[in-house]
Amino acid sequence: MTRTDLNAPRPVSFATIIVILVGFGLFLFLTRRVVHSHHTLPAYGTAEGVPADQAWQATPEARRKYMLELRAKQEKQLASYAWVDQKSGVVQLPIDRAMALTAQGYGAQK
């Protein structure tokens, strides 16, 4: 019987590879489960216990109401004049007027 060299590389068994892959898969599964369960709001929950800045996300009705209010505010901004910063002279123009002034400015440069 001959003695094998102790420094020679040994083949890795198929079972070892399977155990490593299953362990890695289990790690990924548990990580996704823990991370995602703590950082998301329930899709059809209630606003109870939710921070005030995230209450609009709690129910489909609250999200719909928030989006309608946001769109109405944006449409109003697109169609009105207002001061953004009066000290520095920055104004808000209706989008049609702003596009006309921009086109006029580029036309004057040519």
CA distances from 67 to 1, 53, 54, 59, 104 (A): 81, 14, 13, 12, 35
**% of the chain residues with pLDDT over 90:** 41
**Mean pLDDT, rounded, for 24-53:** 70
Tell me the C-alpha distance between 18 and 24, whole Å.
10
- The pTM score is 0.45
**Mean pLDDT, rounded, for 18-29:** 93
Contact partners, residue 35, CB within 8 Å, separation at least 6: none
